A and B are shown apart, each in its own frame.
Chain A
Amino acid sequence: MAVVSFVVFSLLYLTPGDPAAIIAGDVATDEDIRRIHARLGLDEPFLVQFGRWLWALLHGDLGTSIFTNLPVTQLIGQRVEPTVALTLCTLVVAIVVAIPLGVIAAAKAGSWLDRAVMSFSVLGFSVPVFVLAYILILTFSVQLDWLPVQGYRNFRDGAWEWLRHLILPSIALGTVYVALIARMTRASMLDVLSQDYIRTAAAKGLAPQQVLIGHALKNAAIPVVTIIGVGIALLISGAIVTETVFALPGIGRLTVDAILRRDYPVIQGVILIFSAVYVLINLAVDLSYVLFDPRIRY
C-alpha cells in the first residue's frame, strides 16, 4: 500500500493538468490561477506535498476534494453502496447463470448444447459492455418500459426499487463474466470428469447429477473460485463503463470524474481504497479454498 501511495502520488504529480486552472474557469487569468495554486499548496515541492498527504493519511484523513470541499471519505462513502450493490448483483447473475451453463456444457461435451454455450461465451466476450447496455436500455426501458433507464435507488428506499435499477446494469456488466466463468467451469469440469474417481463414483451407481454436483463440481471449484476472485477485481474496473452508461453514482464514475478534473486527493483516496479491496479479495479467495478442499491448510 505504501508503494501504491508513492507511485500514485508521483504519477499525478507528473501528469499534465492543473486543478487550479479548472477551478478558476475559462475566464481566469494567470494571477487567478497562481492564487488558487497557493491556496491549495500546489506550488510547494513534491516531497512537501507528499509528506503532508502521507501524514494526514496516517491520521486516517484522506484529505478534502479540491473542487467540492467535501472530505474524500464522505465522497467515497456516498459512492460505495451503488458500486458494491452493482458488483454483488453482477456476481450473483454471473455465478447463477455461468456455473450451470459450464456444468451442462461439460456434461454434454460435443453436443449442440455445448456448442450453444460456447457460442454464447464467444459472444459474451466480444460484445462491448456499452453496446449491450444500449441494447438493453432501448429494449427494456424505452420500448417495453419495464425497467428504468438510469439512476440508482438506495436499498432503504425499497428492495424492489433498488433491484429494478440494478437489473440492466448487472446483466450488461455480468455477461462478460458469465462467458468467462462458464468457459472456466466447463474446462475445469472436463478435466475432473476424466478422473478415475468420477468413473468409480458412476460405477458405484450414483445418480449422474450426484456425480456431477457432489463430486465433479466440488473438485472443479478451486479454479472457478480463483477466476471469480479475479473477476471481482475486474468487475470494479468494468463498473466504470457501466456506471457511466446507466448514470449510477458509484466509485467508478467518481474515479473518472476526479481524473478528468485532476482532483488529486480524490484520485489518491480512491486508488488506495481499490488497492485495499484487491488485497482483501485475494485474501478471501485464498481462504475460501479451505471450504472446497479440506486438504488445504493455512
Chain B
Amino acid sequence: MNKRSALLRSMSAVLGTFTLASVLSIPVALAQGQRVLKFVPQADLRILDPITTTAYITRNHGYMIYDTLFATDAKFQVQPQMVDKYELGKDQLTYTFTLREGLKFHDGQPVRSADCIASIERWSKRDALGQKMAEVTESWKAVNDRTFALKLKRPFPLVLEALAKPSSNVPFIMPERIARTDASTNITEAIGSGPFKFVKEEWVPGSKVVYVKNMDYVPRKEAPSWAAGGKVVKVDRVEWIYIPDSATAAAALSAGEVDWWEFFPPDLIPVLARNKSIKVENIDPLGSMGLLRFNFLHPPFNNQKMRQAVLSVVDQNDYILGIAGDPKNGHTCYSYFTCGTPLSSEVGAAPAKGNRDFEKAKQLIHESGYKGEKIVIIDATDAPIVHSQSLLTAELLRKLGLNVEVQAGDWGTLITRRASKEPVEKGGWSIFHTWLVGPDVMSPAVNFAVRGSGEKGWFGWPTDAKIEELRETWFAATDPVASKKAADAVQARAFEFVPYVPTAQFILPTAYRSNLSGVIIAPITLLWNVEKR
C-alpha cells in the first residue's frame, strides 16, 4: 500500500467515524401528537438561579418551574398561591402559613415548611424588599411539614406584598437542599414545584430551553390573574427558541416555525400586523419605564440645580418616539412609581410636565456654577432602548450649551463601567440610561433608583437622608391611605432632588400565531393557560 492510498484510507476512516457517531447517537424524538409551544424569548437564558441575578429572562424561567407562596393579581391584590390559608396574630407580629395539600417538587419530594423557610431566607439575602423584611424578622419556624410561622420584631405591613413580589427577585420556593446554597453562588439544579419541568439534558445555552408539563402539578381553582390563580398548563411541551436576529425571528413567526415572539422591535409592527395569521398585541398592562441616571459623586451632577435643569428640558414624548417608534406604544408618565399602579401620582411633577423650558434650564445651569466640565454619557449601541435615550439626552444637553461626549460601547461594557466611581477623566461617567419593567418601579419598596442611600445604593450613588426618611415612613404606613400619602411625599422629594429623570413609559409589543389562545395579560410573560389549536 503506497502513501497516497494510506492517506485516502485514513481520511475515509475519519469521515466514517463521524457519520457513525452521528447515527448511533441517542435520538431525541417527540411523542406523536404532542402539543408543543415554540416561544421566542426576549433574551437567551444563561443563568438558572432567579435569586443570584435579577435578569428578567431568569425571572421568567423561574415562573415556569417554581411556584410562590403568594402572588399579586391584576388588581394589585395579594392572593395565596402555594399557601392554602394564613393568619396574622392579634399582636400583628406572628404570621402562620399552611401549605396546600399535594404540593410536590419535580424530583417527587413533597414541598415542606423547611423548603419554604430556606427559600425565603435565601431570597431575603439578595432582594431589597427581602432584606427589609429580614431586618424585622425575629424567626422563621416550621410548626409541622405543612405549617410554618414567621415571628416579627415589630409590625411590618408589607410581609404579604413581599412574599407576592411579582418581579425580580421573586421569592420562588425551591427544595431546602438547593435553597441552602450560598446566596451569591448560582444554583445548578433547576427543581421547583411549578407547572413546568425544566429538561436540563435538552438545554443548549444560546439556542434552546425545553420545559415539559408537570403532570403532578395541582393548579388552584381560581382563574389566572397575573401570576395568581390557577396555573393550568394546556400544552405538553414548551420550547424556548432563542433567535438573535430580528428579521429571522419575524420570518420564522410568519412561516409558522415558531408560535410566539415575546418582544420585537417596534419597526416590525407593520410587517407582522399585515399577516392575518399573526396577532400583534400589547399584553403588558404596565409596560416599562425608561430612566436617565446621574452620577452624584462628581461634578456637574452632584449639584441639584444641574439635575433640575435636565429634568426641566426632558420631553417624554420624544423619548417615547425614540424608544417605541410610535406614540401608541407608550405614554407620558410623570411619576416615580409606575403609572397605572396604586401609588402613581403627579404630586410634585410640575418640573417634568408641560412646555420644556430651556431658558429656565440655562438659568439653573448658571446658578449651579457649571464651569464647562465634560459630561460623559455612556451608551450601549447593542441595546436599542439605551442607545436611543442616550442620543436624545446628548442632543438636549448640547442645546443647553453643555460639554457633552457620548462614549459608545456594548451593554456589557456599560454595566461594567457604570460601577466606576472615578471622575470622567479616569474612566468614570456622568449619565447612563436604562429601563425597568413596571413592577420593579411601582412602590418605594421596589424602586431602588429612587433611594438616597449613597455609596451602598444603586449606581449613581445619590445620598439624601430626607428621601430615606420618607421611605421609612412609607414602610411603616399601615393602611392604603397612609401608604399613598407617604408615597406621594417620597415622590415630591424625588422631583426636587432628582435621583433620576423618568424618560417614558413604553410597551414592547408581543406577536403570536392566531391559533394560540389564553395568553395572560400581565407584566411578566406567563406561559400557562395558553392553548394551541
List residues of chain A with CB under 8 Å of any chain B CB.
16-18, 21-33, 35-36, 39, 65, 67-70, 75, 78-79, 81, 84, 134, 137-138, 141-142, 145, 148-151, 154-157, 244-247, 249, 253-254, 257, 260-262, 287-288, 290-291, 294
Q: Is B100 in contact with chain A by the CB < 8 A criterion?
A: no
A245 to B245, Cβ gap below 8 A?
yes
For residue A287, which residues in chain B have a CB less than 8 angstroms away from its CB? 7
B44 to A291, Cβ gap below 8 A?
no
Q: Which residue of A lies closest to B449 (CB)?
A: A27
Q: Is B257 in contact with chain A by the CB < 8 A criterion?
A: yes
A26 to B27, Cβ gap below 8 A?
no
A249 to B186, Cβ gap below 8 A?
no
Residues 158-197 of chain B, each 1 if its beta carbon lies under 8 Å from chain A, else 0: 0000000000100000000000001011101000000000
For residue A142, which residues in chain B have a CB less than 8 angstroms away from its CB? 251, 254-255
Q: Is B392 in contact with chain A by the CB < 8 A criterion?
A: no
For residue B276, which residues in chain A have a CB less than 8 angstroms away from its CB? none
B27 to A156, Cβ gap below 8 A?
yes
A150 to B47, Cβ gap below 8 A?
no
B3 to A138, Cβ gap below 8 A?
no
Q: Is B244 in contact with chain A by the CB < 8 A criterion?
A: yes
Contact residues, B264-278 vs A (CB, 8 A):
none
What are some 8 contacts across the A-B interface (CB < 8 A)? A30-B419, A30-B456, A149-B251, A149-B257, A150-B249, A247-B207, A257-B206, A294-B4
Q: Which residue of A lies closest to B421 (CB)?
A: A30
B204 to A249, Cβ gap below 8 A?
yes
For residue B251, which residues in chain A have a CB less than 8 angstroms away from its CB? 137-138, 141-142, 149-150
Specify which of B18, B185, B252, B411 is in contact with A150 (CB 8 Å cutoff): B252
For residue B23, which residues in chain A have a CB less than 8 angstroms away from its CB? 155-156
Specify which of A145, A156, A254 is in contact with B206 (CB 8 Å cutoff): A254
Contact A150 B257, CB 8 Å, known A33-B419, A247-B244, A247-B245: yes
B255 to A22, Cβ gap below 8 A?
no
For residue B32, which residues in chain A have a CB less than 8 angstroms away from its CB? none
Q: Which of A30, A33, A138, A154 has the most CB of B within 10 A?
A: A30
A25 to B168, Cβ gap below 8 A?
yes
- Consensus secondary structure, chain A interface: helix
A137 CA to B407 CA, complexed, in Å: 36
A154 CA to B208 CA, complexed, in Å: 14
B27 to A141, Cβ gap below 8 A?
no
Q: Is B8 in contact with chain A by the CB < 8 A criterion?
A: yes
Residues 48-70 of chain B, each 1 if its beta carbon lies under 8 Å from chain A, else 0: 10001111000000000000000
For residue A150, which residues in chain B have a CB less than 8 angstroms away from its CB? 243, 248-249, 251-252, 257
Specify which of A25, A35, A67, A137 is in contact with B184 (CB 8 Å cutoff): A35
A257 CA to B182 CA, complexed, in Å: 27
A25 to B458, Cβ gap below 8 A?
no
B419 to A21, Cβ gap below 8 A?
yes
A287 CA to B48 CA, complexed, in Å: 46
Known: A157-B29, A245-B245, A291-B7. 20 other contacts (CB 8 A): A16-B413, A17-B413, A21-B416, A30-B459, A69-B48, A78-B204, A141-B251, A142-B251, A145-B255, A150-B249, A154-B22, A247-B242, A247-B244, A247-B245, A247-B248, A253-B206, A253-B207, A260-B382, A262-B416, A290-B7
3 tightest Cβ-Cβ pairs between the two chains A and B: A249-B207, A25-B54, A18-B416
Q: Is B482 in contact with chain A by the CB < 8 A criterion?
A: no
For the side of the interface on B, what is the size category? 35 or more
A26 to B22, Cβ gap below 8 A?
no
For residue B3, which residues in chain A have a CB less than 8 angstroms away from its CB? 290
Distance in Å from the Cβ of B386 to the closest Cβ of chain A? 11
Q: Is B284 in contact with chain A by the CB < 8 A criterion?
A: no
Specify which of A25, A151, A157, A257 is in contact with B257 (CB 8 Å cutoff): A151
Q: Is B477 in contact with chain A by the CB < 8 A criterion?
A: no
A31 CA to B440 CA, complexed, in Å: 20
A121 CA to B249 CA, complexed, in Å: 30
For residue B254, which residues in chain A have a CB less than 8 angstroms away from its CB? 142
For residue B417, which residues in chain A have a CB less than 8 angstroms away from its CB? 16
For residue B436, which residues in chain A have a CB less than 8 angstroms away from its CB? 26-27
Distance in Å from the Cβ of A5 to the closest Cβ of chain B? 23
Specify which of B22, B208, B248 is in contact with A249 (CB 8 Å cutoff): B208
Q: Which of A32, A69, A262 has the most CB of B within 10 A?
A: A69
For residue B186, which residues in chain A have a CB less than 8 angstroms away from its CB? 23, 69
For residue B303, which residues in chain A have a CB less than 8 angstroms away from its CB? none
B54 to A262, Cβ gap below 8 A?
no
Residues 372-396 of chain B, each 1 if its beta carbon lies under 8 Å from chain A, else 0: 0000000000100000000000000
Q: Is B108 in contact with chain A by the CB < 8 A criterion?
A: no
For residue A262, which residues in chain B have a CB less than 8 angstroms away from its CB? 412, 416
Distance in Å from the Cβ of B444 to the closest Cβ of chain A? 15
Distance in Å from the Cβ of A230 to the closest Cβ of chain B? 19
Q: Is B31 in contact with chain A by the CB < 8 A criterion?
A: no
B53 to A23, Cβ gap below 8 A?
yes
A36 CA to B186 CA, complexed, in Å: 10
Contact A81 B22, CB 8 Å, known A149-B252, A260-B382: yes
For residue B419, which residues in chain A have a CB less than 8 angstroms away from its CB? 18, 21, 30, 33
Contact A260 B7, CB 8 Å, known A150-B243, A244-B245, A247-B207: no
For residue B413, which residues in chain A have a CB less than 8 angstroms away from its CB? 16-17
For residue B243, which residues in chain A have a CB less than 8 angstroms away from its CB? 150, 247
Specify which of A21, A30, A288 is in contact with B415 (CB 8 Å cutoff): A21
Q: Which of B18, B26, B436 has the most CB of A within 10 A?
A: B18
Specify which of A149, A249, A261 is in contact with B412 (CB 8 Å cutoff): A261
A148 to B257, Cβ gap below 8 A?
yes
For residue B369, which residues in chain A have a CB less than 8 angstroms away from its CB? none
A145 CA to B128 CA, complexed, in Å: 50
